[in-house]
Structure formats: structure tokens, C-alpha cells
Amino acid sequence: MSLYGMMRTGVSGMNAQANRLSTTADNIANSDTTGYKRSSAEFSTLIMPSTGGAYNSGGVTTTIRQAVSDPGVLQYTTSVSDLAVSGDGFFVVQDPSGTPFLTRAGAFVPDAQGRLVNAAGFQLMAYSYANGVPAATVNGFEGLEPVVIADQGLTATPSTEGTYSGNLPAGATPVVAANLPSTNSAGAQYTSKSSMVAYDNLGNKKLLDVYFTNTGTGTWEVSVFDQSKATAGTSFPYTGGALGTANLTFDTTTGKLTGAVDSVSLTVPGGSAFSLDLSTLTQLGAGFTVSDAQVNGNAPSTIDKIQISKDGTIYAQYKDGSTKPLYKIPLADVQSPDQLKALPGNVYAQGTESGAIRVGFANEGRAGSIISGALENSNVDIAEELTDMIAAQRSYTANSKVFQTGSDLMDVLVNLKR
């Protein structure tokens, strides 16, 4: 056995335990860092070729692993912009230079420009609703932009769609064609009526009168009018006539819509094209009932607060109570999260063994859901780290004894001639 080889083996062992102590020190220092994933030193042997009657000692090599796939405990907060992932996904963030990274550190707060940034200064990235409902770019970060929550004045959004749910009475008396509301005659008759609020391009409220009229067995006419154009005291006729009309057909056995038409299209006065979804209407043996009615758009208002849903949609809630989607936060995942490359600031980049990064939305695949008002704690166990520290210290001391013994034997060899 080579004495020099034995001493080098002892040095290798001390270096390995020093690496182990370094990871322990990092883990303890970051035990309260949001989204931090503990590091560990994994050892593997280095074997030197040996010949008969002689053994050449090798050494030990160290590989550092991050327990990225091991989730931390969630801690709930009072801040809406504090975000956590319940699943395997990562938030996509970028540094000031625009380079994208992955992170689980979701303690985001607005900066001076209204951008959501975490404690390390990384900006949260998302897809904007400015050009319609966003779609994820699965094989890249194109289309993502920094989330900016800034109230720069009054904002009004015209109504473009709505939903109407309820029941139409199956035993209603049919109205003859000459007296239907769509004729807009002074003698127009109808079965049931309700009104809805919509918004024009300037955010003005427009009251729409919605008439439901039975025209025969299982058939109904739906007509929508501008209430401001009604004749005083009698409603009909309306100046300008109906804004939109549709004919519905119901299955007389199930009471559900069976025809191809399940909506009514119109243009809101002074506003945009508008579609009212009626697909959930029923015709049953009960009275006229409205169970739900929703219309998008909002009157001129400033952003009062934001809300973030579990699917990652960021909504602006205005002072009048209306909401508007602004961004949709994506989640990224990889095949082997523990093989991601850890970088300063508690962020990760794609590693050589991690697999490609796939970007999608919450509740898709393994990504998980987004929890607003919560943070993911570090997955460090202090008791385990202190135990590892003591074990590493003992192993380091033992390896130093090997080196010291080799040094003593070298002294004996050098002094043989004395």
C-alpha cells in the first residue's frame, strides 16, 4: 500500500465531509427562506486499480443534490400576492435583464412600477388577457410578460357576453304570431319578462328588457330591447325595435333545449357586439324563475384590489364590485426536478439531466394548483441538519486521523537511517 495514497485518501475523505458540512451550513442558514430546498452531499467511491498482494486506496467523490421535489409546509398569510404551489409546478420569473428562471419562492409584492417581485428581486411572469384568453407556449417562454398591477386611472370595459339561467313555465299559453314582442306593436304580448344591466363603450349602464314568449308546444321566442327606448307607461312599441331575437326549442320530455339555437346575439346601444348564452334554460312544470344572470364589462372605476384564483387567473376588482381578468399565471414543470440547476436567489434553470421545461397552466398534469395568500416554507429539518453536522464532524476527525497516521509512518520511513 502506498503511504502517499493513504494520505490522499484521508484528504479526499476530509474534503467530502467538508462539502457535507457546507451543505448543512447552507440548509441551516436558509431554514426560514421561503421556497428553499435543502441540499445534501451524496458520496460515491473512487477505486484505484490494484495488483496481487498490493491494495491501492482510492477515495470518495461528492455529488450535491437539491431536494427540489420535496415540498415544504404551507404557511398562510394575509397578502393576496403571496403565492404557493400545491403540486410539482414552478413559477416562471425573470431577472432585471429579462432572463427567465423557475422558482417556488412566491412572496411577491408590487414594486414602484407595479410589477410583482419576490424578495430576491425576480419578477413574476404571466400571460396577459389584453388580446383575449391566453394560451400557454408549451416549449418556451415566449408570450410571457411581467405582471404589472398599476391603477393609472378610471377603466371601463364594454359588455361582450353574458349568461342567463332559469326556467320557463311548461304550461304557458301560446301567443299568436301577430302579437309577439318581435313585432314591436302596441298590442304586443309576452309570457315573462326580466331586465339585465350591460355596459357600453364608455362604461354607461344600459338596461336591457328580455322578453320570453311561448309560441307553441316546446317553442319560445326571446326578444331583447333597449329599455330607454320604451314607450312611457306601456313599453311597446320600442323606438328602433328589438336589439336581438332568437327562437328556442325545448324537448317536451326532458325540458331541455334541443334546437341549434341556444343564445341571442345583439349590439349593446353605444357598445359592442353582445352574445347572451341561454343554453342552461329549462322548460319545466314550474313558474318563471331566474336562477342566475351574469354580464361581463364594468362601469368607469379604479382598481380596488386584486384576486388570484387557483387556476392562476389574476382578477382586478373595481370599486363598483365588478371584476376583470388581467393575467393568467403559468406553472412550469420538468421530468426530474431534483436535477435542476440551483442558482443564487432561490431560482432554478434547466439542467443537463432535468429534462426539458414544459410550461402550462395550473391544474394541468403534475403542475398542481396556485394558492393565494400562502407561502411555501423551507423543507429543511433543523434537527436532522444538526444530527448530520455531528456525524460529519466525527467523520472528518476520523479521516484526519488516517492522514495523521500516514504522516507519522512517513516520518518513520524518512528516519530509518538514523
The answer to whether residue 332 sits within a structural domain is: yes
Q: Is the pLDDT of residue 84 over 90?
A: yes
Q: Residue 417 gets which letter from DSSP? A: T
295 shares a domain with 163: yes
Span 136-173, pLDDT tens digits:
888 889 999 999 987 666 778 899 999 999 999 999 99
Structure confidence at residue 10 (pLDDT): 84
- pLDDT digit string (tens) for 16-33? 999 999 999 999 999 999
Q: Is residue 85 part of a domain?
A: no
- What percent of the chain has a predicted confidence (pLDDT) above 70? 98
Tell me: do 291 and 310 sit in the same domain: no
- pLDDT at position 379: 93
Do 126 and 235 belong to one domain?
Answer: no
Instruction: Say if residue 254's pLDDT is above 80.
Output: yes
Q: What is the mean pLDDT of residues 386-401?
A: 91
Peptide bond into 237 cis (omega under 30): yes
- Residue identified by cell 382586478 is 316
Q: Kindly report the three-state secondary structure assignment for every residue of 197-263.
A: EEECCCCCEEEEEEEEEEEECCEEEEEEEEHHHCECCCECCCCCCCCEEEEEEECCCCCEECCCCCE
For residues 373-395, give the mean pLDDT: 93
- Flag whether pLDDT at 132 surpasses 70: yes
pLDDT of residue 417: 66
Count of residues making up the chain:
418
Q: Are 169 and 290 contained in the same domain?
A: yes
What integer pLDDT is reported at residue 58 of this predicted model? 77
Residues 6 or more apart whose Cβ sits within 8 Å of residue 382 = 28, 31
pTM, rounded to two decimals: 0.69
Percent of the residues in the chain that have a pLDDT greater than 90, as a whole number: 68
pLDDT at 151: 66
Distances (CA, A) of 238 to 118, 159, 181, 187: 56, 22, 10, 12
The reply to whether 124 and 194 lie within a common domain is no
**Domain stops at, among 244, 278, 300:** 300
**Average of per-residue pLDDT across 357-378:** 91
Q: pLDDT (tens digit, 9 = 90+) per residue, 265-297?
A: 999 999 999 999 999 999 999 999 999 999 988
Confidence label for 418 from pLDDT (cuts 50, 70 and 90): low
CA distances to 71, 94, 274, 332 from 364, in Å: 18, 23, 31, 10
Q: Which of 259, 280, 300 is the last residue of a domain?
A: 300
Q: What is the mean pLDDT of the chain?
A: 90
More confident residue, 121 or 5: 121
Pairing of strands 273-277, 161-169: parallel
pLDDT at 44: 86
* pLDDT digit string, tens, across residues 317-341: 887 777 888 999 999 999 999 999 9
Q: Which three cell numbers stand for residue 39?
A: 441540499
Do 202 and 295 lie in one domain? The reply is: yes
One domain for residues 227 and 254: yes
Instruction: Give the range of the structural domain holding residue 58, as residue numbers without chain letter.
Output: 3-70+379-414
Q: Is the pLDDT of residue 344 over 60?
A: yes
Cβ proximity of 150 and 316 under 8 Å: no
Contact predicate 324/196, CB 8 Å: no
| Predicted local distance difference test score (pLDDT) of residue 153 | 65
Residue 76 falls within a domain, yes or no?
no
Q: In whole angstroms, give the CA distance from residue 206 to residue 269.
A: 7
Please state the domain count of the chain: 3
Q: Looking at the structure, do residues 174 and 306 belong to the same domain, yes or no? A: no
Note whether 186 and 162 are same-domain residues.
Answer: yes
Q: What is the pLDDT of residue 324?
A: 84
Q: Is residue 198 part of a domain?
A: yes
The interaxial angle of helices 3-29 and 382-414, nearest 10 deg, is 160
CB 373 within 8 A of CB 73: no
> Does 215 lie in the same domain as 129?
no
Q: Are 147 and 163 in a shared domain? A: no
Q: Residue-wise over 223-234: b if at least 16 C-beta within 10 A, else e?
A: bbbbeeebeeee
